Structure formats: C-alpha cells, structure tokens
Amino acid sequence: MTNGETTSRTDFIREIIDEDIRTGRFGGRVHTRFPPEPNGYLHIGHAKSVMLNYGIAKDYGGKFNLRFDDTNPTKEEQEYIDAIIEDVRWLGADWEDRLFYASDYFEQLYQWAEDLIRKGLAYVCDLSADEVREYRGTLTEPGRNSPYRDRSVEENLDLFRRMRAGEFPDGSRTLRAKIDMASPNLNLRDPVMYRILHAEHPRTGNAWCIYPTYDWAHGQSDSIEGITHSICTLEFEDHRPLYEWFLQALGIYAPRQIEFARLNLTYTVMSKRRLLRLVNEGHVRGWDDPRLPTLRGLRRRGVTPEALKDFTERIGVAKNNSTVDIALLEYCIRQDLNRRALRVMGVLDPLKVTLVNYPEGQVEWLEAINNPEDPSAGTRLVPFTRELWIEREDFREVPPPKYYRLSPGREVRLRYGYFIKCVDVVKDADGNVVELLCTYDPETRGGSAPDGRKVKSTIHWVSVPHALTAEARLYDRLFLKEDPDDVPEGGSWLDNLNPNSLEVRTCYVEPSVAGAAPGSLYQFERLAYFCVDPDSTPERLVFNRTVALKDEWAKIQGKT
Ligand code: ATP
Ligand code: MG
C-alpha cells in the first residue's frame, strides 16, 4: 500500500518532461489533456488524472485540453458530457477555449483511413466479430491472416466508401490495419479501425454509420491537438506501439505517451461498469450517492476539490499498480474540513437532561467559537436552558474503568456552559434510561470552578426548546472488505456490499444552523464533519456525515 508520505512535487513524469524540455524535443512546449469517454460519471480516479494533467500544464506554463473520446455512440450520452464538464470545472482545471471532441475529427480520421488503404496498410475485412477474435490467436499462439487481407486497394477503397455510405448492416464488415498477425503484441494483430454501427451519435447525429475505434482515434486526436505528453494509465502501455505505428504510417506529429498506475482505493469499486451496476440495481441512491467514489458523490458528501488535490499529491504517481488505503483519503478530507468547517453542537442519539435547579423559562446565550482553526470565523451565541439534549453515550449508569463522562453522582462540564452533576436517573417501565436529573453549578459559567475543582470530561449538548430537528445520514464504507473482489469461488463482489453503509438518524442541532444552504460544511463537535444535503427543506435540514473525527490514518501511521 502507498504510504502517502510522498508530498514532493517531482515524479517520474515530471522528470521525463524536464528531460524533453532540456533536449528541446517539443520546442520546450508542454501540452496535456484529459480525455474522458462520456459513458458515465467521473470518479476519484479520474480526478487523479485531471489533477495530474492540469497540474503539469500549470507548473510548466503549458496548456491543458479537455477532450471527449466520444467514439462509441451506443454507450455515450449528452448527459454524461454535461456532467463531466461540470465535474472537471469543479476540480478547478481550466481548459480555456480548448474543449474538443474526438467526433470533431471524424472526417479527418476517415481521410487518414483512406490514406492507409491507399498505402496498402489497411483492408476491409468481412469476418464477424467472433471470427476476428478467433483468428487473433492468443498470447502463446500466433494469429492467422484474415482471408480478406489481400484485397486490392481499389476493392478496399470501394468497400470502405460503401461502408460509410450505409450499404452494409452493423457488424458485417470492419476496416482493419494490416500489421502483423504473428506479433507478440496482440494489439498489433491487424486491429480494427472502423466498425459499422447504425447508431445516432450525441454530437454528429446520423452523419456517420461507421465509427472509429478508440485505438484508431486516440493517438491521432492527440496529434491533431499538438499534445506533447499523452499521459494515460498502464493498461495502454501495450497500445503504445500501435499508436506509434499509426502516426508513423500517416507521417504525422507524434506526442510522447507516458503511462502511470491507475488509482485504486480500498473498500470501494471504481470501474464505470461496476458503478453503473450499483446505481442501476439500486444498491445506492444514484450517481451522486455520497457513498460512491464518483465526484458527484464526493461533492454531495462534503468533500472539497482542495481535499482531493491534497490527496492526489500525497499519493503521487507510480509505475506500479497499487491500492491506496481509503483512510488516507479520509485523513485528507478531515485535514481540509478542520480548516474550513464551522463548529456547531448537534446530538445524534439524544438523551434528555433536566437541570432541576435551573429556573424554568430562563434562557442564557452563551458565546461559542465558530472555528478554533480560524479566528476570523468569529463566535456565535448558543441558547442554554433547563432542558437539554445530550448524547446517550455520554452517560453510563455503571461507568466502566476510565469512563469520565456522566454517571450518577459524577460531575462533567457542558461545552461553553456549566458544570453539571447527575443526581437521579428516570427510567421507563422496561428499565431504559429516558431522562437524567442533574444540578448545575451557577458558579461555573465559562467552564471552570472558582474553588479550583476539576472535571475530567466536557460533553456537547443542545437546548431542548431551541433544538432543530434534522435528518442525519451516517455513511459507512460501501464494502465490508478492503478488496471487494475477495470472495469465495462462485461469489460476486456485490456479496461484499456493506448492508449498513447508510444509517439514517433523527438528530437535534443548535439553532444557528437554521436555513443553512446545501453544501454548507459543519463540524458537529466531538462527532464528525457534516455537509448540508440538497434534500434539505426549510422545515427539515438533512446532513450527510462526510467523515468522522476519529483519525484512523494517524493510528495506522503510528503503528508502523
Ligand atoms: P473506468 O475504467 O473507470 O471505466 P476509463 O478508463 O474507461 O475508466 P475514461 O473516460 O476512458 O475512463 O478515462 C479518462 C481518463 O482518466 C483516462 O486518461 C484514464 O487513463 C484516466 N483514468 C481512468 N480511471 C483512472 C484511475 N482509476 N486512476 C487514474 N486515472 C484514471
Ligand atoms: Mg476507457
């Protein structure tokens, strides 16, 4: 597992770029891009790629493009395009006026395909998809030549033009590069460049019924845009020789491709296919469910772009695949929210306290600090009355060893308030504690006793008559196991879903949060960070628990 301690700004990719600048390979230019396929919503792995590509462009005074790799109309939708644009912008990446689409290049790609045909480097093949696969061979066995491989240039040009004109049904023919069916690299065994697909494209509509494959579109799109460093994930390492072959065969500008390890996180899944299943099968509430690693989910949960940036910088870039402990992400979120979240008091599991010696009907407004990390956040007034809610776990009828919170006869401090002592316990017919009767010491306002006596614990509270009733959505990890694929034979990763990843509670919160806008970030003192959910109404706030205060990452680091 990555230890997260690498915060230095240099990495193997930047070293390569430094070298290219020194040797003048691209005339000193640095131009990167983020090339999403609009077939789903972005996740935190994409954020890593965006931050990396945009960060490099910025650091080197270069340029950054956003380009949609929209070559597969059966899976792509405008909805995803719009969402991706919004998410990349949210991350803070700026592509200025360079928003591109691979579909902008369809005509050019088509013309280049004809060029390859004319050079005898591409042919129309009538094998079905299954046959193409069968002829391809395996890692240990060479492939076999397609029976259509030696068609004449004229026949190929004619057939390819008729493919474009819509004369043939889906799947009946493909255009393939004529490379080497015996190559040890399967990607070079006459890869498909075009397939017939009578499908409407979100941008080009019905203008095309043949579509370029990703392999045929990707390198040329980078070339057209003058990308210098085409940064991608490791699975494209084996495709690099193919991209280079295409660019060389066409005799056009070639960027340098650099592969890095994709981000994997414990206790979650990242592939769009799996995220789609979680959404479609109702395991989560939607693409923006705060339990998902999607950027919409993280945003709704209360995670900021700055926290994601810190996280991606800490994990750095590597050449080997690894899995990052989700506790490191939670640590970065906590660090970030510690600086920006306003402190409030809220009670998630309420137990009523009545202060028997406090005057009925009296209200005192006590000064409370909004954010000890940020003096400019100021203070607020919190109402104090005879009836309070406290956290049920802050009381034990029989305190275990080292438990210093409230118990019969024990005195504690109320945050920003007074010392109180438990004098009696009210129970229901079943023997459950339903209320505590306490006394308060009027001499201890402000949290200390003039006689110097000490208490060992400070607990949070909310005035009963002033409390806002809110919904708290408490999220836990989506999967029970670090590796969701860790299942017995015949099992499914879905078997590892955590059935308790969402717990909904009714809670009480101090009145200062009334009317808080969705997205507002708070720390409920002693408990967790929370973010106001868009489901909130003026009558009832809804809070998403972003992350608990307890720092498991520090614990993990401390152990090693
Ligand atoms: P997924 O496998 O999750 O469906 P993808 O690779 O198909 O993702 P694309 O839209 O093709 O998604 O990815 C756009 C860019 O984001 C690519 O350059 C890809 O390398 C990068 N990327 C995708 N997933 C990750 C990840 N987990 N970590 C780092 N970069 C990623
Ligand atoms: Mg992809």
Instruction: Residue 173: name the closest of 151, 200, 204 by CA.
Output: 151
Ligand 1 center to residue 46 CA distance, Å? 5
Instruction: Residue 229: name the closest of 254, 263, 262 by CA.
Output: 254
Instruction: Residue 459: name the closest of 395, 522, 502 by CA.
Output: 395
Residue 322 pLDDT more than 50? Answer: yes
pLDDT tens readout for residues 86-134: 999 999 999 999 999 999 999 999 999 999 999 999 999 999 999 999 9
Residue 2 pLDDT more than 60? Answer: no
The 8-class DSSP code of residue 244 comes to H
Please state, rounded to an integer, the average pLDDT across all residues of the chain: 95
Strands 263-265 and 322-324: parallel
The 8-class DSSP code of residue 385 comes to -
pLDDT tens readout for residues 446-472: 899 999 999 999 999 999 999 999 999
Atom of ligand 1 nearest to the CA of 50: 16
Ligand 2 center to residue 235 CA distance, Å? 10
Which structure tokens are listed for 213?
């494959």
Q: Would you call 262 a catalytic residue per the annotation? A: yes
| Sequence letter at residue 281 | E
In contact, 34 and 267? CB cutoff 8 Å: no
Provide the β-strand partners of residue 497: 479
pLDDT tens readout for residues 209-238: 999 999 999 999 999 999 999 999 999 999
Cα gap 449→501, rounded to integer Å: 43
Report domain extents, the chain. 12-260, 272-342+470-556, 351-460
Instruction: Residue 120: name the closest of 85, 147, 154 by CA.
Output: 154
Which entry of 33, 48, 203, 272 is annotated as an active-site residue? Answer: 272
- The sign of the torsion formed by the CA atoms of 514, 469, 412, 445 equals positive
Closest-approaching ligand to the CA atom of 39:
1
- Rounded-to-10 torsion of CA 215, 264, 522, 344: 170
CATH superfamily of 12-260: HUPs (3.40.50.620)
Q: Would you call 272 a catalytic residue per the annotation? A: yes
Three-state secondary-structure class, residue 343: strand
| Number of other residues whose CB lies within 10 A of the CB of residue 480 | 16
pLDDT reported for residue 555: 66
| Sequence letter at residue 426 | V
Tokens 């240099």 sit at which residue?
10
Domains 12-260 and 272-342+470-556 share a fold: no
Atom of ligand 1 nearest to the CA of 37: 10
pLDDT tens readout for residues 47-67: 999 999 999 999 999 999 999
Closest-approaching ligand to the CA atom of 80:
1
The 8-class DSSP code of residue 149 comes to T
Three-state secondary-structure class, residue 61: coil
Residue nearest to atom 23 of ligand 1 (CA): 46
Fold of 272-342+470-556: Ribosomal Protein L25; Chain P (2.40.240)
Which residue from 215, 233, 311 has its CB within 8 A of the most atoms of ligand 1, so it is best to mutate? 233
Tokens 């993280």 sit at which residue?
298
Ligand 1 center to residue 45 CA distance, Å? 7
Query: What residues are in contact with ligand 1 under a 6 Å CB criterion?
Result: 35-37, 45-46, 48-49, 232-233, 262-263, 270-272
Which residue from 52, 262, 324 has its CB within 8 A of the most atoms of ligand 1, so it is best to mutate? 262
Residue nearest to atom 1 of ligand 1 (CA): 271
Ligand 1 center to residue 548 CA distance, Å? 29
Q: How far is CA 494 from CA 24, 97, 284, 478, 483, in A?
A: 51, 42, 12, 10, 11
| Number of other residues whose CB lies within 10 A of the CB of residue 59 | 12
Q: Would you call 114 a catalytic residue per the annotation? A: no
Residue nearest to atom 4 of ligand 1 (CA): 272
Which residue from 11, 41, 48, 49 has its CB within 8 A of the most atoms of ligand 1, so it is best to mutate? 49
pLDDT interval class at 341 (50, 70, 90): very high
pLDDT reported for residue 10: 85
CATH superfamily of 351-460: Ribosomal Protein L25; Chain P (2.40.240.10)
Which structure tokens are listed for 287?
């693409």
CA angle 65, 69, 73 (to 5 degrees): 150
Beta strand spans in 104-178 (E): 122-125, 174-177
In contact, 465 and 387? CB cutoff 8 Å: yes
pLDDT interval class at 6 (50, 70, 90): very low
Instruction: Residue 217: name the closest of 118, 109, 72 by CA.
Output: 109
| Number of other residues whose CB lies within 10 A of the CB of residue 10 | 10
Atom of ligand 1 nearest to the CA of 264: 27
pLDDT reported for residue 170: 97
pLDDT tens readout for residues 14-24: 999 999 999 99
Per the document, the length of the chain is 560
Cα gap 406→398, rounded to integer Å: 10
Ligand 2 center to residue 143 CA distance, Å? 25
pLDDT tens readout for residues 190-212: 999 999 999 999 999 999 999 99
Ligand 2 center to residue 149 CA distance, Å? 29
